[in-house]
């Protein structure tokens, strides 16, 4: 038998060694993956399919808190709430139209109770309401000490730069961008609104912690920029709910539902272009229904996926009516005022913060710690944990859309 030359023997040996090392370093694919968060087979051994799904949702919350993408986490639900808010604005505009209330009347009403734009400096010692009482007391004391320094004559900019825990406070001297009603949480806004220009507030508590404010400037908002808020106020005084309901029902009567376009069971895919509802100059696809389902509660989505014809008909009809009303609102160039849309997002962020507190998630937390806290949250027995897990289950259709999820079959 002929022997290989020495240099070829060396190459062959190296290749063999690399193959051995390579085979020993091959990684077992994760058993569960949520975005960039992974769980090994050992992590999830013995878990049922329901528990795996719950783990994925807890992990999704952990990632959103870690990356500070809480709004994106709730996007399907927030889209539905924004649609509802836009339809509310459509109702208000129609009520004004039916009662012959024009912009001259609205402006006269506005001059009696104008809207203000405020320019504020502030400092804050962060301590959310879910923090331990000792943490809260310490933060309040630190804010009080800062107030005493201001009352002794120290410049607000210097004290804010030294004391405030808001990112960028030192560079800005605590100065915020101009704000209007709805820009800031209500406690902060109300405290700022009561100040005279140049005046400093007492310590103000909000959901974020303890603040001290200084009012730098106050300007009346021009009527055109405040019109939508005034329209909402006047429409509320006029009522008109019965006439609105009749108007909506007249739009619903023209909708024809075609449930046969849906599969007998299961959920429609987002790219399913099968038509499930029609009306004059409009139609609704199964894919658009899928988008709506992602924002609904889990019990409704489960009944829909199991082929409950009553639920399916109700969901499709509501989606079609919503789309028809939104088309009307867009044609009239109606929009949701920024304060209202901001409040919708803040409400969701508060919910996510409650989950984060229950599960122990924090912004910037390493992925490995998110994984550990997610596993602990799955089996923890505390009351807050049980409540939070139940809320995640109820909002599962929304949370399941935030990240690519891979689960093993059980």
67 assigned to some structural domain: yes
How many whole angstroms separate alpha carbon 194 and alpha carbon 187? 11
Same domain, 294 and 346: no
Report the Cα–Cα distance between both ends of the chain, in Å, rounded: 54
Return phi, psi of residue 37, to 5°. Answer: -90, 130
Same domain, 327 and 342: no
84 assigned to some structural domain: no
Same domain, 264 and 300: yes
Nearest to 405 by CA among 31, 51, 43, 46: 31
How many whole angstroms separate alpha carbon 20 and alpha carbon 24? 6
Torsion, CA 289, CA 293, CA 294, CA 299, rounded to 10: -170
Torsion, CA 316, CA 318, CA 320, CA 326, rounded to 10: -150
pLDDT, position 131: 87
279 assigned to some structural domain: yes
pLDDT, position 71: 96
Q: Is the pLDDT of residue 319 over 50?
A: yes
How many whole angstroms separate alpha carbon 69 and alpha carbon 63? 8
Q: What is the pTM of this model?
A: 0.80
Q: Is the pLDDT of residue 26 over 50?
A: no
How many whole angstroms separate alpha carbon 384 and alpha carbon 401? 24
Query: Tokens 């004004």 label which residue?
Result: 96
Same domain, 365 and 297: no
Q: pLDDT category, 291, cuts 50, 70, 90?
A: very high
Q: Is the pLDDT of residue 379 over 80?
A: yes
Same domain, 345 and 301: no
- 32-47 confidence digits (pLDDT tens): 999 999 999 999 999 9
pLDDT, position 27: 58
Same domain, 363 and 397: yes
Same domain, 383 and 363: yes
Same domain, 211 and 159: yes
- 320-350 confidence digits (pLDDT tens): 999 999 999 999 999 998 888 988 999 999 9
364 assigned to some structural domain: yes
pLDDT, position 18: 42
Domain holding 69, by residue range, is 38-73+338-406
21 assigned to some structural domain: no
- DSSP E strand boundaries for 127-230: 179-180, 204-206, 209-220
DSSP three-state, residue 263 = coil
Q: pLDDT category, 143, cuts 50, 70, 90?
A: very high
Pairing of strands 405-406, 32-34: antiparallel
116 Cβ neighbours under 8 A, 6+ residues apart: 180, 181, 193, 218, 219, 220, 221
CATH code for the domain in which residue 210 is found: 3.10.50.40
pLDDT, position 231: 95
Domain stop point among 275, 298, 331: 331
Look at 6 and 204; give whichever has higher pLDDT: 204
pLDDT, position 17: 41
Q: Is the pLDDT of residue 16 over 60?
A: no
Q: Mean of the pLDDT values across residues 18-34?
A: 62
225 assigned to some structural domain: no
Q: Mean of the pLDDT values across residues 132-148?
A: 95
Q: Is the pLDDT of residue 129 over 90?
A: no
Same domain, 135 and 210: yes
DSSP three-state, residue 218 = strand
Query: Tokens 């020993």 label which residue?
Result: 24
Query: Tokens 């974020």 label which residue?
Result: 208
Same domain, 343 and 322: no
- 189-245 confidence digits (pLDDT tens): 999 999 999 999 999 999 999 999 999 999 999 999 999 989 999 999 999 999 999
* Percentage of the chain modeled with pLDDT above 70: 93
Q: pLDDT category, 181, cuts 50, 70, 90?
A: confident
86 assigned to some structural domain: no
Task: State the total domains in the chain.
Answer: 3
Same domain, 315 and 342: no
What b/e string do you get for 216-244 counting C-beta neighbours within 10 Å, with b at 16 or more? beeeebebeebbbbbbbebbeeeebeeeb
Same domain, 151 and 216: yes
371 assigned to some structural domain: yes
On average, the pLDDT of the chain sits at 91
pLDDT, position 13: 47
- Yes or no: say if 292 and 75 are a contact pair by the CB < 8 Å rule: no
Q: How far is CA 404 from CA 33, 36, 60, 98, 348, in A?
A: 8, 9, 10, 48, 21
> Which burial class, exposed, middle or buried, applies to 151 when counting CB atoms under 10 A from its CB (0-12, 13-18, 19+)?
exposed
* Percentage of the chain modeled with pLDDT above 90: 82
């Amino acid at each position: 038998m002929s022997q290989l030359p020495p240099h070829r023997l060396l190459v062959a040996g190296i290749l063999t060694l690399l193959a051995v090392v390579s085979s020993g370093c091959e990684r077992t694919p994760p058993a569960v993956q949520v975005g960039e968060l992974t769980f090994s087979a050992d992590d999830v051994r013995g878990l049922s399919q329901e528990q795996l799904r719950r783990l994925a949702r807890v992990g999704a919350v952990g990632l959103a808190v870690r990356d500070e993408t809480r709004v994106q986490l709730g996007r399907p639900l927030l889209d539905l709430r924004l649609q509802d808010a836009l339809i509310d604005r459509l109702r208000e505009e129609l009520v004004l139209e039916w009662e012959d209330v024009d912009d001259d009347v609205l402006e006269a009403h506005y001059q009696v109770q104008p809207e203000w734009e405020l320019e504020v400096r502030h400092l804050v010692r962060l301590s959310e309401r879910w923090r331990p009482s000792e943490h809260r007391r310490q933060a309040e004391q630190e804010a009080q000490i800062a107030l005493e320094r201001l009352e002794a004559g120290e410049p607000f900019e210097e004290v804010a730069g030294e004391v405030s825990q808001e990112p960028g406070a030192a560079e800005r001297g605590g100065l915020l961008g101009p704000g209007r009603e709805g820009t800031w949480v209500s406690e902060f806004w109300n405290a700022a609104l009561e100040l005279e220009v140049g005046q400093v507030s007492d310590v103000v508590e909000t959901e974020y912690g303890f603040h001290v404010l200084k009012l730098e400037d106050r300007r009346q908002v021009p009527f055109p920029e405040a019109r939508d808020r005034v329209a909402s106020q006047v429409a509320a005084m006029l009522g008109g709910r019965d006439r609105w309901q009749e108007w909506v029902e007249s739009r619903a009567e023209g909708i024809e539902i075609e449930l046969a376009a849906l599969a007998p069971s299961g959920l429609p895919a987002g790219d399913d272009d099968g038509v499930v509802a029609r009306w004059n100059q409009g139609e609704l696809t199964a894919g658009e229904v899928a988008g709506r389902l992602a924002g609904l509660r889990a019990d409704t989505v489960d009944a829909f996926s199991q082929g409950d014809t009553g639920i399916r008909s109700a969901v499709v009809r509501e989606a079609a009516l919503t789309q028809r009303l939104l088309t009307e609102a867009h044609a009239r160039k109606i929009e949701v005022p920024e304060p209202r849309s901001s409040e919708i997002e803040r409400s969701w962020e508060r919910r996510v913060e409650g989950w984060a507190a229950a599960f122990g998630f924090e912004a910037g937390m390493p992925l490995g710690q998110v994984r550990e806290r997610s596993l602990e949250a799955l089996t923890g027995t505390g009351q807050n944990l049980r409540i939070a897990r139940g809320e995640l289950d109820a909002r599962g259709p929304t949370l399941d859309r935030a990240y690519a999820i891979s689960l093993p079959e059980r």
